[in-house]
Amino acid sequence: MPLGEFELIRQFFDRGPARRALLGIGDDAALLAPVPAGSVIAVSTDMLIEGRHFFAGADPLRLGHKALAVNLSDLASMGAQPRAFTLALALPAVDEPWLAAFRQGLFALADRFDCELVGGDTTRGPLTISISIFGEVPAGAALRRDAAQPGDDVWVSGALGAAAWAVERRRQASGLGQSAVGDGDGDGDGTSGAHSAGGADCADLRLDCPEPRVALGLALRHLARAAIDVSDGLIADLGHILERSRVGAELRWPDVPQAAELAPLPEALRQRLALSGGDDYELLFTAAPENRIAVEALGRRLDLPLARIGAIAAGSGLAVLDARGRRLEIEHGGFDHFR
Amino acid sequence: MPLGEFELIRQFFDRGPARRALLGIGDDAALLAPVPAGSVIAVSTDMLIEGRHFFAGADPLRLGHKALAVNLSDLASMGAQPRAFTLALALPAVDEPWLAAFRQGLFALADRFDCELVGGDTTRGPLTISISIFGEVPAGAALRRDAAQPGDDVWVSGALGAAAWAVERRRQASGLGQSAVGDGDGDGDGTSGAHSAGGADCADLRLDCPEPRVALGLALRHLARAAIDVSDGLIADLGHILERSRVGAELRWPDVPQAAELAPLPEALRQRLALSGGDDYELLFTAAPENRIAVEALGRRLDLPLARIGAIAAGSGLAVLDARGRRLEIEHGGFDHFR
C-alpha cells in the first residue's frame, strides 16, 4: 500500500523537533525566532515544474539540490543569510526511491547552509516544486537591484555559459533540434537534470547542481552596491539592474569570464552562451571603483574568481564592446516564460 | 501579442512601491521589517492545483480569494497576525480576463487583512497556485496543536458541513457519481470554485469563499490552548490536536453546529458532512473550562457562534456520543492526498 500524505511527510521530510525554528513541521504554521536587532527579513519564492524547468525523468537528487539552490541564490544576491525554507511539493504518485533521493539532495544542501525546512504542503499533481526561503540581512545592507550608480564597476563571479551549453547539448541529444539558448532561470523547455542525455560532465553539474554564492553575497554587503544572480542570462540580468537603477552600462566582451567548456566553440556561439545563456547562478554586482582592491582580495579569500567586466554609466542602454572597442550586436536573449 | 512574464507581473501583481514591506516585488527577494520585540514569525505554505483542489474552469475571482484564504486561515489557527505573502503562479497561458479576476479576488481579501503581496514567481505550466504567508505572534502566545490538556473544553466556530455539501452536489451535478465526502482542505478531486455546476448559494460560498477567522484567532491568543482550522474535517483535524497533544477527547454530536443547508438531509449524511467533511475553515480550539464565559462573550463580540462540543480527556482516542450518550460509529474520513 502506498504511503499516505502524513506518513510521507513524516518519513521523508520531518526530521524531528526543529533545530533552530521555534516550531517546525506539523502545525498550521511554523514559528521562527525574530531576526537579530538591526536586521530585516528577506523572503523569496521559486517554482520549478516538470517539463518546463526540468526534464521528465530528471535525477531527483539533483532536483532536490537545484530547487533549494535557486532560492539560496536569490538570498545570496541580496546579501542575506539563509535561515529557513518551506517546500510545497506536488507529486503524481508516491515513489519512495524518488523521494529518498530528492530528500537527500535537498537536505545535503540545506545542512551546508544551516537552512532548516520548517513546513510546507504535499499534494498529488503534476510534479511541481515550490520553495519559499527566509533569510536575514542587516537593515540598509541588502544588495538591491536599484542601487547601481554611474561610475560603478560591473563584476561577475565564476565563469559563464556552461549551464546554457549543457542545455544546448541536451536539446540536441534528445532530438529537440534547434533551441533558443538563453532561456535561463532553469527554464529551458524541460532541460535541467536529465541524466540520460549528455553525460555528467562539469557543464552538466553547473546546470543541475548550481552552487549558490552565499558566502560571496554575505561578504559583498559592504563592498557592493547592486547585485543580482545570473539566472536569465548576463545581459538580461544586468538589464534588470539597469532598469531598476535607471542607469546604463558598458560591458567588455573580452573580459567576460567564459566557462572552460566553451573554449572549442565558435565565438558567436560562445557569445550567445556566456552573454545570453542563463542558469549559471553566479553573482553579478556593481561596486564603487574605490573598492576594486577589496573585491579582488575577497575573490582570493573565497577562492572564487571575480571578474571586472564593465562599468555603469549615466543614462540608459547597454553596450557590449569587443576587443577593439566596437559595439557588438547581441540579441537580448533573456528568457521569458510567456513569450 | 500575449503579455510577457515581466509585463504580466507589472500589470496584474505589482501595485507600485511596497506599503508596509521595506522592498516588495521586483528584486531577488522581498525585505520585511522585523517583527515587534517579543514576537516571533509565523510561516505557512499551501499549494492549490487545478483538477485536484478546484475544477478546471473554476471562477478565477473565487480562486484568488480562496488561495489566500486558506493561508490566512492557517495563520488564524495559530493566533498570528497576517503581514505579507508571496505567490508562485503557474499558468497554461496568459489569459488577461482570468488574471484580472484572479487579481481582484486575491487583493480584495489581502487588503481586508492588510496582508501585502511582496514577491513570487510566474511561470508557464499546469494551473497551480502556491502561496506562502508570513505573520507575527507574541512569543509563547501561538495556538499550537500540541497544547491541549485533559479537561479542556473543545470549541468550534461557525457551523460545519456546508462546504462538503457543496462538494457533494457538484460531484453529482458533474456526473462524477458517488464521492467520498470528507476530502477536506480544498482537496476534493477538483471540486472547488466551479461556478457552472450547482449554482451559487450559501454552501457554494462557504466552499469557494471561505472566511478566514483571523479576528477570532487573534482574540483566542490568551483564551485558548490548542487550535487548528477545519480543513480536513472536524474529526480528522481534532485528531491532529489529539495526536500532537497526546490526549483523547469526547465529542457530543448533538452539540456540533451544523450548517443550515444540512437541515433537510438524513442524519447519517449530516453526520458525514459535519464530522468528516472538510473545507469549512472554521477554527477548532480547546480552552480551559474557567474560560467558558470569556469565550462565549468573545463569540458575541465577534458576532460569530462559538459552540462547546466536547472535552479533552487523558489517554488517547476520540469518542463521538449521540444525544443519549451512546458512542457513534463514525468513519475517520479525513482526506489524504495519496490514499
ipTM greater than cut 0.90: no
Domain match, A184 and A215 both: yes
Please indicate whether, in this complex, the C-beta atoms of A34 and B35 are within 8 angstroms of each other.
yes
Of A74, A90, A121, the CB nearest to B45: A121
| Beta-bridge partner residues of A163 | none
Overall residue count recorded for chain A in this entry:
339
Output the pLDDT for position B179: 44
Whether B188 is covered by a domain: the verdict is yes
Residues within 8 A of A (CB atoms), B 173-202 only:
187
Domain match, A221 and A109 both: no
Of B29, B93, B227, the CB nearest to A44: B29
The number of C-alpha atoms within 13 Å of B170 and in the hemisphere containing its C-beta is: 29
pLDDT single digits (tens) A84-93: 999 999 999 9
Taking CB atoms and an 8 Å cutoff, what residues of chain A touch B51? 125
Mean residue pLDDT across chain A:
89
B149 phi, psi to nearest 5 deg: -130, 145
Output the pLDDT for position B201: 74
CA pair distance B226, B34, nearest whole angstrom:
26
**Over pLDDT 90: what percentage of chain A?**
74
Taking CB atoms and an 8 Å cutoff, what residues of chain A touch B147? none
Instruction: Please list the pLDDT of chain A residue by residue as tens digits (339 residues).
Output: 467 788 888 888 998 888 889 999 989 999 999 999 999 999 999 999 998 888 888 999 999 999 999 999 999 999 999 999 999 999 999 999 999 999 999 999 999 999 999 999 999 999 999 999 999 999 999 999 999 999 999 999 999 999 999 988 888 887 665 444 333 344 444 444 444 334 457 778 888 889 999 999 999 999 999 999 999 999 999 999 999 999 999 999 999 999 999 999 999 999 999 999 989 999 999 999 999 999 999 999 999 999 999 999 999 999 999 999 999 987 655 556 665
Whether A145 is covered by a domain: the verdict is no
Alpha helices, H only, B150-246: 162-173, 202-208, 214-219, 234-245
Residue of A nearest to B75 (CA): A29
Query: Chain B within 8 Å of A167 (Cβ-Cβ)?
Result: no
Please indicate whether, in this complex, the C-beta atoms of B229 and A28 are within 8 angstroms of each other.
yes
The number of C-alpha atoms within 13 Å of A64 and in the hemisphere containing its C-beta is: 21
Residues 6 or more apart whose Cβ sits within 8 Å of residue A217 = A75, A76, A77, A78, A79, A80, A143, A227, A283
Output the pLDDT for position B330: 76
Output the pLDDT for position B76: 98
Domain match, B113 and B169 both: no
Q: DSSP label at B27?
A: S
Output the pLDDT for position A339: 57
CA pair distance A121, A107, nearest whole angstrom:
17
CB atoms within 10 A of CB A301: 10
Taking CB atoms and an 8 Å cutoff, what residues of chain B touch A220? none
Whether B327 is covered by a domain: the verdict is no
Whether B334 is covered by a domain: the verdict is no
Query: Chain B within 8 Å of A120 (Cβ-Cβ)?
Result: yes
Do residues A294 and A235 make contact, with C-beta atoms less than 8 angstroms apart? no
Do residues B160 and B256 make contact, with C-beta atoms less than 8 angstroms apart? yes
Output the pLDDT for position B333: 55
Of A37, A52, A80, the CB nearest to B124: A52
Taking CB atoms and an 8 Å cutoff, what residues of chain A touch B122? 337-338
Q: What distance in Å separates residue B28's CA from the closest CA in chain A?
A: 5
pLDDT single digits (tens) A155-187: 999 999 999 999 888 888 876 654 443 333 444
CB atoms within 10 A of CB B122: 20
Domain match, B93 and B172 both: no
Of B3, B31, B88, the CB nearest to A45: B88
Domain match, A184 and A304 both: yes
Domain match, B77 and B183 both: no
Taking CB atoms and an 8 Å cutoff, what residues of chain B touch A77? 28-29
Please indicate whether, in this complex, the C-beta atoms of B6 and A336 are within 8 angstroms of each other.
yes
Do residues B8 and B121 make contact, with C-beta atoms less than 8 angstroms apart? no
Please indicate whether, in this complex, the C-beta atoms of B45 and A88 are within 8 angstroms of each other.
yes
Whether A64 is covered by a domain: the verdict is yes
Of A120, A146, A338, the CB nearest to B94: A338
Residue of A nearest to B236 (CA): A6
Whether B307 is covered by a domain: the verdict is yes
Domain match, B251 and B292 both: yes
Which among A138, A168, A186 is the end of a domain? A138
Query: Chain B within 8 Å of A243 (Cβ-Cβ)?
Result: no
The kind and range of the H/E element at B48 are strand B39-49
Taking CB atoms and an 8 Å cutoff, what residues of chain A touch B6? 336
Whether B146 is covered by a domain: the verdict is no
Residues within 8 A of B (CB atoms), A 32-71 only:
32-35, 37, 39-47, 49, 51-53
The number of C-alpha atoms within 13 Å of A203 and in the hemisphere containing its C-beta is: 25
Taking CB atoms and an 8 Å cutoff, what residues of chain B touch A80? 29
Residue A125 region, left (φ>0) first, then alpha (ψ -120 to 50), else beta? left
Output the pLDDT for position A180: 40
pLDDT single digits (tens) A85-140: 999 999 999 999 999 999 999 999 999 999 999 999 999 999 999 999 999 999 99
Do residues B125 and A129 make contact, with C-beta atoms less than 8 angstroms apart? no
CA pair distance B12, B100, nearest whole angstrom:
7
Taking CB atoms and an 8 Å cutoff, what residues of chain B touch A94? 338
User: What amino acid is encoded at A212 in this protein?
Assistant: P
Query: Chain A within 8 Å of B146 (Cβ-Cβ)?
Result: yes
Which among B138, B169, B186 is the end of a domain? B138
The kind and range of the H/E element at B97 are helix B96-112
Output the pLDDT for position A200: 52
Please indicate whether, in this complex, the C-beta atoms of A40 and B49 are within 8 angstroms of each other.
no
Q: Number of structural domains, chain B?
A: 2
Domain match, A293 and A160 both: yes
Domain match, B134 and B158 both: no
Residue of A nearest to B231 (CA): A28
Strand order in B306-313's β-sheet? Answer: B227-229, B283-287, B153-157, B306-313, B248-252, B317-321
Output the pLDDT for position A254: 97
Output the pLDDT for position A182: 37
Query: Chain B within 8 Å of A117 (Cβ-Cβ)?
Result: no
Whether B329 is covered by a domain: the verdict is no
Which among B89, B110, B138 is the end of a domain? B138
Residues 6 or more apart whose Cβ sits within 8 Å of residue A243 = none
Q: What distance in Å separates residue B10's CA from the closest CA in chain A?
A: 13
Of B33, B41, B91, the CB nearest to A31: B41
CATH of the domain at B229: 3.90.650.10
Domain match, B194 and B228 both: yes
Residues 6 or more apart whose Cβ sits within 8 Å of residue B313 = B150, B247, B248, B249, B250
CA pair distance B326, A125, nearest whole angstrom:
41
Please indicate whether, in this complex, the C-beta atoms of B46 and A121 are within 8 angstroms of each other.
yes
CA pair distance B337, B240, nearest whole angstrom:
16
Global confidence as pTM: 0.89
Residue span of the structural domain in which A56 resides: 5-138
Residue of B nearest to A137 (CA): B31
Domain match, B315 and B247 both: yes
Weakly modelled stretches of chain B, pLDDT under 70: 1-2, 175-200, 331-339
CA pair distance A27, B151, nearest whole angstrom:
22
CATH of the domain at B132: 3.30.1330.10
A64-78 burial, b at 16+ Cβ within 10 Å, e below that, comes to bbbbbbbbbbbbbbb
Output the pLDDT for position A9: 85
Domain match, B29 and B70 both: yes
Strand order in A30-32's β-sheet? Answer: A30-32, B39-49, B128-138, B81-91, B116-124
